[in-house]
Amino acid sequence: MEHWRRGQVQCLEEVVDVPRISEALRLFRSWSAAQGLLGSRTEYVARTPHRQTLRFSRSGDPAIEESYRTHWVSPALSEKKRERLSAKQSRAPELVAIRPLNAEWTCHRCGGTGDLLMMDSPGPACLRCVGLDDLEFLPAGDALLTRRLKARSPRYAVVVRFSKTRGRYERQGLLVEPKALADAR
């Protein structure tokens, strides 16, 4: 799922058990219809600088894509609430910059390297190539400043590093617009 979200696989069906997912979708659709739930189309955008629309099916068949994209919501919610929910769920995910454990990596676009990389398709890219090398690093720790900058910096990316002991990526801070950082401080 994470690989798909980062645009590292062509479509979700490459990495899931398709017959089981199709059966689950079919059951879920008929259950949702029986409950009188309303279908709401949701955008799925890649966690990459390109923000491309994510594809679910191998075939790319519009009807299949639609069934994956549809979220089902209670008709008891007001139209305004349904719209807000749909907008929230369609929002593009945060950009993530990775501080690699292995310093020897190569940008697939320019052949260069750097302290930080961004997962791009078909490989990692340096910040200069994705147009984010002017951003400034704000270390994690100040929750208020972090929240302010997420709201005020037109572009930002979360910086993560893989923790071998915990077996997952951990947040190290944010890359933000220098002006937004100066203003927020």
Positions in the binding site for Zn ion (CB under 5 A): 107, 109-110, 112, 126, 129
Distance (Å) of CA 48 to CA 3, 72, 131, 177: 11, 27, 12, 18
Q: Report the alpha-carbon angle 50-53-54, nearest 5.
A: 110
Nearer residue to Zn ion within complex by CB, 87 or 110:
110
The CB-of-49 to Zn ion minimum distance in angstroms stands at 12
Q: How far is the CB of 133 from Zn ion (least distance, A)?
A: 9
If the CB atoms of residues 65 and 120 are measured against Zn ion, the closer one turns out to be: 120
Rounded to whole angstroms, the Cα distance separating 126 from 104 reads: 12
Amino acid at 123: G
Q: Which one, 117 or 184, has the nearer CB to Zn ion?
A: 117
What SS3 state is found at 56? Answer: coil
Nearest approach in angstroms of CB 110 to Zn ion is: 3
